Amino acid sequence: MHKILVSGCLNGRPIRFNSTKVSVESDIWDRWESEGRLVAFCPELAAGFPVPRPPAEIVDSTASLVLGGRGRVEEDNGTDVTDLFVAGARLAADRAAAEGCVIAVLTDGSPSCGTTYTYDGTFSGGTVEGMGVTAQLLADQGLRVFPEDRLEEADRYLRSLGE
Ligand code: SF4
């Protein structure tokens, strides 16, 4: 059975930087859960960040540049947390591989988990198209990544793969 790596904060745990979770109310999600497909994982907690933690953004770069050692992630106080974000991404990729995950459904906008957009590095609420560091690494390793508001699309793709 194909499994799905999902952001830990989508699965009921208030672990985002500001101690909140993201609610997903969907029959598709409930079915995936009853089928035992969901593998919940938070790359930032896995890397050692606490809850709560300062907001962080990809600054003057992209997730691909961060993964290639030529970009950075900073907290809003200027602390460089690039290495921890890359470490979290690698741990997520390891977990996805160990569990046999073929897709990931991740919280959009996060500097780790964003799949269609992230914040623009100015800490002013602006956004840019692109992925977070974990989402980018998962995509680079062949997983299809979806934001949490595209469950029907994710489910169609999963069904196209067969059981
Ligand atoms: Fe959720 Fe991902 Fe942020 Fe963890 S890193 S709190 S899983 S969005």
Question: Residue 4, SS3?
Answer: strand
Closest CA to 47 of 134, 143, 140, 106: 134
Q: Distance, CA 157 to ligand 1 centroid (Å)?
A: 23
Ligand 1 atom 5 nearest Cα:
44
Cβ density class 6-21: b for 16+ within 10 Å, e for less: bbbbbbeeebbbeeeb
pLDDT averaged per 10 residues in sequence order, the chain, 163 residues: 96 94 95 97 98 98 98 98 98 98 98 98 98 98 98 97 83
Which pLDDT score is estimated for 7? 98
Which pLDDT score is estimated for 107? 98
Ligand 1 atom having least distance to the Cα of 9: 1
Ligand 1 atom having least distance to the Cα of 7: 7
Burial environment of residue 45 by CB neighbours within 10 A (0 to 12, 13 to 18, 19 or more) = middle
Domain boundaries, the chain: 3-160
Which pLDDT score is estimated for 162? 87
Ligand 1 atom 3 nearest Cα:
16
Laid out side by side, the sheet with 144-147 consists of 38-41, 3-7, 101-106, 144-147
**pTM passes above 0.75:** yes
Closest CA to 63 of 112, 104, 108: 112
